[in-house]
DNA sequence: CGGTTGTGGCTACAGTTGTTCACTGACTTC
DNA sequence: GAAGTCAGTGAACAACTGTAGCCACAACCG
């Protein structure tokens, strides 16, 4: 299926990616609704009008960024939730994975947290769509677990949403810890991991006693 | 203690409040980091320079808005968490209260949800400060409950944070429901209330089995 | 090879922005 | 009642914004 792009298409993808990267960098200290098209092109080193060859507007670029930040995350979610082992083990592994992802893609995480409730409607919707998909996937994995016997699909979905929200909230806290002055950082990361682990453990307890 | 303001001070407070109100209105469809000072003064009907008599910058105005949106909410939190009755009853009453608050002050709720992770650092910090205070207050109320016997202060605080996050997330969902086209609105509100109630019930279950 | 396509550059335009300065005139204080 | 304070005004500034029209030139296709 993979068609080798012509030199032309390849160059276009390259500048497009440069625009996305530059925008993501600029969004570390402002929100999308204040991001200017000229600002982005200036950072890349292309003419302002070149922007239109790739995106209709900055809102459009924002939607593309959502895809980039969350689109490739679905397989990761599925495997994380479905890994075997006892509950305690799964909790620590999930949190470790979140921490690693935040370390690897801090700008993406910040972007999602910021624009989830941000001022640009199409971007908000794109994020909500992706998160809803996450919740559905988590529910599907939870359904396979023997603990879920007797649960209604509705209840499984509400638990899945709780997990997804919890994961995103934890990611955001890891991000804050990441921005701490050097010496405090590790300590704050450990504390975030500790609190998050106990919260997930508590939710897991509620889950096990749901049908009492 | 309450000193009657002179006519002058009263007028000043009045325009200050007008600026805050106008800003809150404008922030329904954009984020603080893109809010212009001239935009605000234009909406109020005063000269741009008048803005400086009240705020150093729009970020400064944002911090004032945080105070207005959350400052007066502390007594409400305390009484809500501490009300007597069985757990089920408390859950539905809390959610009812959140729904009512979102109905009464939708712009404030939107502002907090939007700027909690927004692009303006001083505002983010102001919100975090207030939410941390909420968590501490919730912990203090939880500590009085006999169910909390044997709990460490640390564990109570982590549970309190879970509750606060859950409340804010629920408020944001109510807000989305509020913006639905007329006929769907009530139905979506009911669904949000139902899911939120079950999530809080599940957390409550985890809480009761924490020390097993 | 020759014609077509399309990415990106350049110039220009009309609006907007934050901030400054000197100012007015109603209120407050002595 | 005179002197002082200070919220709000108006004009001017340089810098910035999104968008339009036209052009260059490298890559593509027949």
Residue A152 to residue A149: CA distance in whole angstroms: 9
Does residue A143 have a pLDDT over 70? yes
Cross-chain Cβ contact B165/A161 below 8 Å: no
Structure confidence by residue, pLDDT tens digits, B114-160: 999 999 999 999 999 999 999 999 999 999 999 999 999 999 999 99
CA of B71 to C1' of D22 (A): 57
Nearest nucleotide, CA A11 to C1': C7
pLDDT at B2: 45
pLDDT at A75: 93
Residue A127 to residue A112: CA distance in whole angstroms: 7
Tell me if the pTM is above 0.75: yes
Strand D closer than 7 A to residue A7 Cβ:
yes
pLDDT at B74: 96
**Which residues of chain A make contact with B162, given a CB cutoff of 8 A?**
199, 202
Under a CB-based contact definition with an 8 Å cutoff, are residues B187 and B118 in contact?
A: no
Structure confidence by residue, pLDDT tens digits, A29-39: 999 999 999 99
Structure confidence by residue, pLDDT tens digits, B42-52: 999 999 999 99
The residues near A56 (Cβ < 8 Å, ≥ 6 apart) are none
CA-to-CA separations, B48 to B52, B54, B91, B155, in angstroms, rounded: 8, 11, 47, 50
Under a CB-based contact definition with an 8 Å cutoff, are residues A120 and A23 in contact?
A: no
pLDDT at A3: 61
Mean pLDDT of A192-199: 98
Is any Cβ of chain A less than 8 angstroms from the Cβ of B209? yes
Mean pLDDT of A16-34: 98
Nearest nucleotide, CA B45 to C1': D8
Is any Cβ of chain A less than 8 angstroms from the Cβ of B159? yes
Does residue B1 have a pLDDT over 60? no
Cross-chain Cβ contact A30/B32 below 8 Å: no
pLDDT at B3: 62
pLDDT at A148: 96
pLDDT at A1: 43
Structure confidence by residue, pLDDT tens digits, B94-114: 999 999 999 999 999 999 999
Cross-chain Cβ contact B202/A203 below 8 Å: yes
- Answer positive or negative: Cα dihedral of A171, A153, B90, B152: negative
**Which residues of chain B make contact with A111, given a CB cutoff of 8 A?**
none
Mean pLDDT of A171-200: 97
Under a CB-based contact definition with an 8 Å cutoff, are residues A178 and A102 in contact?
A: yes
Does residue B20 have a pLDDT over 80? yes
By C-alpha distance, which of B94, B110, B122 is closest to B179? B110
Residue A1 to residue A3: CA distance in whole angstroms: 6
Is any Cβ of chain B less than 8 angstroms from the Cβ of A158? yes
Strand C closer than 7 A to residue A37 Cβ:
no
**Which residues of chain A make contact with B158, given a CB cutoff of 8 A?**
195, 198-199
Least confident of A11-25, A30-44, B1-15, B56-70: B1-15
Mean pLDDT of B72-80: 93
Which one has a higher pLDDT value, A3 or B104? B104
Question: Which nucleotides in chain D lie less than 7 Å from some protein C-beta?
Answer: 6-12, 16-22, 27-29
**Which residues of chain B make contact with A202, given a CB cutoff of 8 A?**
159, 162, 203, 206-207, 210
Among B23, B36, B118, most A C-beta atoms within 10 A, so best to mutate, is: B118
Residue A205 to residue B155: CA distance in whole angstroms: 14
Cross-chain Cβ contact B158/A198 below 8 Å: yes
What is the percent of chain A where pLDDT is above 70?
98
DSSP codes of every residue in B109-133: HHHHHHHTTSS-HHHHHHHHHHHHH
What is the percent of chain A where pLDDT is above 90?
92
pLDDT tier, A2 (very low <50, low <70, confident <90, very high otherwise) = very low
Backbone dihedral region of B7: left (phi > 0), alpha (psi from -120 to 50 degrees) or beta?
Answer: alpha
What is the percent of chain B where pLDDT is above 70?
98
Structure confidence by residue, pLDDT tens digits, A35-59: 999 999 999 999 999 999 999 999 9
- Determine the distance in angstroms separating the CA of B118 from the nearest CA of chain A, rounded to an integer: 5
Neighbours of A21 (CB within 10 A): 16
CA of A44 to C1' of D25 (A): 21
Mean pLDDT of B45-62: 98
């Amino acid at each position: 299926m993979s068609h080798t792009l012509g030199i032309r298409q390849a160059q276009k993808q390259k500048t497009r990616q440069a625009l996305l990267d530059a925008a993501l960098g600029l969004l570390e200290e402002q929100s999308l609704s204040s991001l200017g098209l000229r600002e982005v092109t200036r950072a890349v080193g292309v003419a302002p009008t070149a922007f239109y060859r790739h995106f209709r507007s900055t809102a459009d670029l924002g939607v593309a960024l959502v895809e980039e930040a969350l689109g490739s995350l679905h397989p990761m979610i599925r495997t994380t939730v479905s890994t075997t082992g006892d509950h305690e083990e799964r909790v620590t592994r999930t949190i470790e994975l979140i921490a690693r992802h935040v370390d690897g893609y801090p700008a993406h995480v910040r972007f999602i947290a910021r624009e989830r409730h941000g001022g640009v409607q199409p971007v908000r919707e794109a994020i909500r769509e992706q998160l809803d998909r996450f919740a559905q996937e988590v529910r599907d994995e939870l359904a396979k677990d023997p603990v879920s016997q007797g649960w209604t699909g509705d209840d499984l979905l509400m638990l899945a949403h709780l997990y997804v929200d919890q994961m995103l909230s934890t990611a955001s806290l890891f991000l804050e810890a990441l921005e701490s002055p050097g010496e405090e950082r590790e300590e704050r990361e450990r504390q975030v991991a500790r609190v998050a682990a106990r919260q997930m453990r508590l939710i897991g307890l509620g889950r096990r006693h749901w049908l009492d």
